[in-house]
Amino acid sequence: MSKGKEKAPRYGKLASIRQATAPASVEAPSVVPDIPGQAPDQLEPFSAHLMGRTKRLLKQAAAKEGRKQYELLQEAVSAYLAEKHADLK
């Protein structure tokens, strides 16, 4: 790397969004209730493809709320399943 040239921070914009808007403490909502008699759900690896714009907006929304991207996805998918497929257990 040549002297005099400074590299811009990779996540500089997201860091500034996070600092400007992050609440003091955020508690992740428990969207999926535990089923009596069964062990509570645990996180499992999951992979999916998103459109570039959607991925970027998800990242910005998570930074703005001070939450992880997977938390927003979990909340959105749970809301979708509750609304469209309430019969699934």
For the chain, the structural domain boundaries read 11-18+48-89
pLDDT in tens, 23-80: 555 555 555 555 566 667 788 999 999 999 999 999 999 999 999 999 999 999 999 9
Q: Identify which of 25, 19, 3, 6 has the alpha carbon closest to the alpha carbon of residue 63.
A: 19
CA-CA distance, 31 to 58, in Å (whole number)? 18
Statement: the pTM of the whole predicted model exceeds 0.75:
no
- DSSP conformational letter for 32: S
Q: What angle do CA 17, 22, 24 make, to 5 degrees?
A: 160
